Amino acid sequence: MGRERQLRRARTTKPLSPSGERPGEGESLRDQDLLERARRMRRDMPEPERRLWLALRARRFEQAKFRRQVVIGRYIADFACRQPTMLVIEVDGDTHAGSGDYDERRTSFLEDRGYRVIRFTNSEVMTNLDGVLFSIAEALGAPPLPTMSRSPCPRHGCVTRGVTHLLIP
């Protein structure tokens, strides 16, 4: 009976992770926690992220494949694109002020892995979605859509400084 129990257990245990640990052991427990947190964040997206996601999802935007709430290492990116270019888009909320050191470490981590990181505020997404999409198109290397009126970046010091934003009258 002992041998039968061992065989049954061997068939039902989960495979080892690349680090040699079973889920729930050591680092993989943190990975599972991060994945679960990303799933919760996908379900409970704030309105600005939801609005941007509707424009980016299903290759609707510049035929780029975007994913939302993507785990990259020990971080969760709001949106990430791996094709045609490696791009991370962050939408910073009102409570985001004061997290500069964390953002710098995170951006450095992502850039070390080949991602370009661009940031927008909730306000920019809600009031100037076309301008945000214009900046994303430029970051992807796609030619921007023609526009009738342009203005400078509405947020001083943003990553997209110098990029013009499309305004809809």
**Pairwise CA distance, residues 107 & 109, whole Å:** 5
pTM value?
A: 0.64
Of the ranges 119-123, 142-146, 160-164, the best mean pLDDT one:
119-123
Look at residue 61 and tell me if it is in a domain.
Answer: yes
Given a cut of 60, whether residue 12 has pLDDT beyond it is no
Question: 150 pLDDT band (50/70/90 cuts)?
Answer: very low
Given a cut of 90, whether residue 83 has pLDDT beyond it is no
Cα dihedral 89→92→96→102 (10° resolution): 10
Residue 62's pLDDT is 85
CA 69 to chain centre: 5
Q: 40 and 90 in one domain?
A: no
Q: 92 and 36 in one domain?
A: no
Residues in the chain, total: 169
Nearest by Cα to 76 from 63, 88, 62, 86? 88
Residue 102's pLDDT is 86
Residue 147's pLDDT is 43
Question: Could you list the residue range(s) of the whole structural domain that residue 147 is in?
Answer: 46-166
Domain count, the chain: 2
Question: 128 pLDDT band (50/70/90 cuts)?
Answer: very high
Q: 92 and 31 in one domain?
A: no
Residue 152's pLDDT is 44
Give kind and range of the element (H or E) at residue 67: strand 65-72
**Pairwise CA distance, residues 64 & 48, whole Å:** 20
Question: For residues 94 and 47, is the Cβ–Cβ distance under 8 A?
Answer: no
The strand pair at 116-121 and 87-92 is best described as: parallel
Given a cut of 90, whether residue 151 has pLDDT beyond it is no
Q: 68 and 33 in one domain?
A: no
Look at residue 5 and tell me if it is in a domain.
Answer: no
